[in-house]
Amino acid sequence: MITRAAALLVLALALPGPPGGAAAAERGAPLETIRDVFAALRACWRPPARPEGPTGMEVTVRLSFRRDGSVLGQPRITYYKTGGTPEQQQAFRTSVTAALAACTPLALSESLGSAIAGRPLTLRFSDNRAT
């Protein structure tokens, strides 16, 4: 069962343009809301370059955070939809791993850290870019 927080996180990664939370993360301000967390994680992902249209690849990752914003345990891939060439698939997986490594630990406020600590969140990375 997907929690409300997980559902919001999936939606936030699919939204175009940087939401306000990304700006907070760039300023070094602590993340105050779950929406800020979504924005910060989405802002870290740099999809791999590709010469042709979208590959349709998707990766869904489930993970939890500690109060200090570090990842609790090992992120787990719960869904993987392949597409493109083997080289494109490897580049896509590498970009997802790099996003999580670059973005964590998150700068969580004390109250947000307490609220999300140990709760599983689901992130979906999807290559559905228009040419």
pTM: 0.71
pLDDT at 65: 96
Q: Which of 17-21, 92-96, 112-116, 120-124 has the lowest mean pLDDT?
A: 17-21
Taking residues 46-59, what's their average pLDDT? 78
Q: What angle do CA 47, 36, 58 make, to 5 degrees?
A: 30
C-alpha 82/C-alpha 79 separation (Å) is: 10
